[in-house]
């Protein structure tokens, strides 16, 4: 919960700072771009074990004489991740500049091993992997340091689902290994930071880092609601290069586009048919009646 409160305080500070830096990244006057857009990203996803190494007296059988003292080690390799999102910006931002509905597809992979302090070395070794799909609702707040360079904070919520899960124990005494519990989903509060640059009006590029701030489900009583896989809890994280495309607003009817992309909407175009170009109305002549 402290992480959530800290990020909310940071977002509030960014909002106050953003009011002092009046650079308009998203064309709020609506002269050129519509208040919505798309995001596409490619990056990597991983799992951070908490802790990565720890000691334990592990009872590998049903009797006390099979207890072994040793050390656990948990690792997770970086896997590919794909991001697609639809976002909408606010004309008068209070806490967030924009909100987004984001889809993520990635792969998770991890290994865990238990090495005893006896001469028999490794007692247990296990590895697992799964495909992951995630759907999240995120709020963003940007602080622009220059008209084109900005720092952006994010907070939101996401739901994950694991698919095609595989688990393969190995090692000399792998039969004593405990299979992971069948948990195939997770709900958490997510947060992140990104450094972005406007490469063209309405076109942005960001390097974004995200992670879980608070995991609500599945609940793990002993490990702070982390993603429990074999013996340990994990905190998912992602790093990605993302491109934001703000939709262009169609030109007004019967108007030509001016060369200034930041002109107000009422000065966006020049009327093609001014009053001087409209056809003049013909005066109706009264017909005189002939007298018989």
Model pLDDT, residue 223:
45
Q: Is 275 domain-assigned? A: no
Residue 29: phi and psi, rounded to 5, are -70, -15
The whole-chain average pLDDT of the chain stands at 75
Domain that holds residue 265: 2-270
The CA distances from residue 41 to 21, 103, 123, 161, in Å, are 27, 10, 41, 20
Q: Look at residue 188 and tell me if it is in a domain.
A: yes
What is the per-residue pLDDT for 252? Answer: 56
Has residue 41 got a pLDDT over 90?
yes
Q: 285: Cβ–Cβ under 8 A, 6 or more apart, which residues?
A: none
* pLDDT value for 137: 97
Residue 288 lies in a domain: no
For residues 8 and 194, the model is more confident at 194
**pLDDT surpassing 60 at residue 105:** yes
- DSSP states of the chain as a string? -HHHHHHHHHHHHHHHHHHHS---SS-TT-SSEEEEEEEEEEEEEEEEEESSEEEEEEE-SSSGGGEEEEEEEEEE--EEEEEEEEEEE-SS-SS-SEEEEEEEEEEEEEEEEEEESSTT-EEEEEEEEEEEEEEEEEEEEEEESSSSEEEEEEEEEEEEEEEEEEEEEESTTGGGPPPPP---EEEEEEEEEEEEEEEETTEEEEEEEEEEEEEEES--TTTTT-EESSSSEEEEEEEEEEEEEEEEPPPPTTEEEPS-TTS-GGGSEEESS-GGGSPPPPPPPPPPPPP-
Of 10-19, 22-31, 219-228, which one has max mean pLDDT? 22-31
For residue 44, what pLDDT is reported? 96
Q: Which residue has the tokens 């794909």?
A: 82
Model confidence at 261, pLDDT cuts 50, 70, 90, reads low
Residue 71 counted as domain residue: yes
The model's pLDDT over 141-157, given as tens digits with 9 standing for 90+, comes to 999 998 889 999 999 99
Q: For residue 19, what pLDDT band results from cuts at 50, 70 and 90?
A: very low
Q: Is 280 a domain residue?
A: no
What is d(CA 110, CA 128) in angstroms, rounded to the nearest whole number?
6
Total number of domains constituting the chain: 1
Q: What is the pLDDT of residue 17?
A: 47
In this prediction, residues 55-79 reach a mean pLDDT of 74
Q: What pLDDT sits at residue 283? A: 59
89 vs 27, 121, 177, 198, 246, CA distance in Å?
10, 57, 50, 16, 10
Give residue-wise pLDDT tens across range 112-135: 887 877 765 667 777 888 899 999
Question: How do residues 160-204 score in pLDDT, each as one tens digit?
Answer: 888 887 877 766 555 555 555 556 778 889 999 999 999 988 899
Tell me, yes or no, whether 33 lies in a domain.
yes
Please tell me the predicted confidence (pLDDT) of residue 165. 78
3-state SS of 91-158? Answer: CCCCCCCEEEEEEEEEEEEEEEEEEECCCCCEEEEEEEEEEEEEEEEEEEEEEECCCCEEEEEEEEEE
Q: What is the pLDDT of residues 74-87, one digit of tens each?
A: 888 899 999 999 99
Residue 93 lies in a domain: yes
pLDDT score for 77: 87
**Per-residue model confidence as pLDDT tens digits over 229-258:** 555 677 889 999 999 999 987 765 555 555
Q: Identify the pLDDT of residue 111.
A: 84
Read off the pTM. Answer: 0.71
Is omega for the bond preceding 218 within 30 degrees of 0, making it cis? yes
| Distant-in-sequence, close-in-space partners of 276: CB < 8 Å, separation ≥ 6 | none
Question: Does 279 reside within a domain?
Answer: no
Distance between CA 257 and CA 272 in Å, rounded? 11
Quick one: CA dihedral 40, 238, 181, 76, positive or negative? positive
Q: For residue range 270-288, what is the model confidence (pLDDT) as tens digits?
A: 545 555 555 566 555 665 5
């Amino acid at each position: 919960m402290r992480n959530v409160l800290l990020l909310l305080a940071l977002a509030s500070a960014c909002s106050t700072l953003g009011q002092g830096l009046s650079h308009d990244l998203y064309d709020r006057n609506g002269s050129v771009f519509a208040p919505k857009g798309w995001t596409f990203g490619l990056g990597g996803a991983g799992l951070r074990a908490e802790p990565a190494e720890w000691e334990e007296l592990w009872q590998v059988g049903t009797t006390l004489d099979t207890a072994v003292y040793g050390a656990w080690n948990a690792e997770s390799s970086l896997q590919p991740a794909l991001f697609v999102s639809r976002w909408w910006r606010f004309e008068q931002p209070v806490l967030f500049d924009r909100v987004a509905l984001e889809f993520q597809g990635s792969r998770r992979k991890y290994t865990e091993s238990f090495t005893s302090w006896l001469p028999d070395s490794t007692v247990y070794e296990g590895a697992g992997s799964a495909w992951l799909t995630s759907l999240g609702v995120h709020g963003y707040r940007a602080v622009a340091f220059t008209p084109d360079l900005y720092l952006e904070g994010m907070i939101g919520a996401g739901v994950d689902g694991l698919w095609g899960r595989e688990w393969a124990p190995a090692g000399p005494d792998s039969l004593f290994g405990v299979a992971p519990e069948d948990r195939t989903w997770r709900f958490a509060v997510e947060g992140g930071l990104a450094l972005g640059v406007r490469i063209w009006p309405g076109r942005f590029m960001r390097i974004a880092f995200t992670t879980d701030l608070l995991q609500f489900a599945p609940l793990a009583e002993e490990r702070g609601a982390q993603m429990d896989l074999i013996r340990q809890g994990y905190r998912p994280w992602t790093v990605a290069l993302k491109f934001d495309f703000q939709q262009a607003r169609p030109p007004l009817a019967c108007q030509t586009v001016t060369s200034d992309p930041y002109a107000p909407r009422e000065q966006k175009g020049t009327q093609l048919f001014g009053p001087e170009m409209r056809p003049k109305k013909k005066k109706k002549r009264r017909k005189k009646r002939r007298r018989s």
